[in-house]
Amino acid sequence: MAILKFRIAWEEDDAIYRDVMVKHTQHFTDLHQIILKAFEFDEKHDATFFRSNEKWQRGREISKAVYEKNYVVPPLMMDEVLIGTEIINTNQQFVYLYDFAKSWTFLIQLIQVIKNADADMELNYPMVSRIEGVGPMQYGTKGLLGPNFTDIEEKYDLTEAQDGFGEEGEDAHASDLEGDGLSADEDLDEDSEDEDADSSDEEADSEDAGGMFDDSSEAY
């Protein structure tokens, strides 16, 4: 028995890839499942492998099921074909297509064959041995801020004004009065009392002034 290491690259960006390891006696169904796990995809959609050459041309299919489409030759079934039986050369290649509506396409290349004597048989195969790059999001796009932004929002309540900062248009004078222990109403009452006192003084002065002129008038 041997362990086969494949590199699974996303067709749209080959810098994003996963290395997976499978036993040569496992089926293509196992390879199909470990690819989805490696890229964090679900298993809800149709899928198929294609035999391929160095130019990534698609040959006979190794499919999850027989689908309603035109085949040049009938497909092989994933759960029936052993991976080792499809390895013809040391750089064997396949194309993997998932979710026919969205056409997620991955390029698969054999990069290492580990003989039984050198393999760690205590590991659970198939397995993901390497992850490079942020994989595509199966549904939608990844958030730029990430999940930690929720924690930031909870720690710092970004929806409320900070203490000490009033809303635009508020009377700053009222805040100053409250800082001095006086309310705005109390300040207005004191101003009103001062105005009444000033008014009384002005009336008294006016009466005194009138008396002076009256006295002057009588003197003449």
Q: What tens digit of pLDDT does each residue of 64-91 get?
A: 999 999 999 999 999 999 999 999 999 9
Cis bond before residue 147 (omega within 30° of 0): no
Q: What is the pLDDT of residue 219?
A: 36
48 occurs within a structural domain: yes
The bridge status of strand 127-132 relative to strand 13-23 is antiparallel
Q: How many domains does the chain have?
A: 2
Contact assessment for residue 20 and residue 129, using Cβ atoms and an 8 Å cutoff:
yes
Residue 201 lies in a domain: yes
Average pLDDT of the chain to the nearest whole number: 78
Of 102, 132, 162, which residue sits at a domain end? Answer: 132
- Could you tell me if residue 164 is inside a domain? no
Q: Is 138 within a domain?
A: no
Give the pTM.
0.64
pLDDT value for 153: 44
The CA-CA-CA angle for residues 147, 101, 57, to 5°, reads 105
Domain of residue 183, residue span:
172-219
Distance CA 196, CA 183 (A): 20
Q: Which residues pair with 94 in a beta bridge?
A: 51, 108
Q: What is the CATH classification number for the domain harbouring 11?
A: 3.10.290.30
Question: Which pLDDT score is estimated for 118?
Answer: 81
DSSP H/E element including 196: helix 184-219
Give yes or no: residues 208 and 126 share one domain.
no
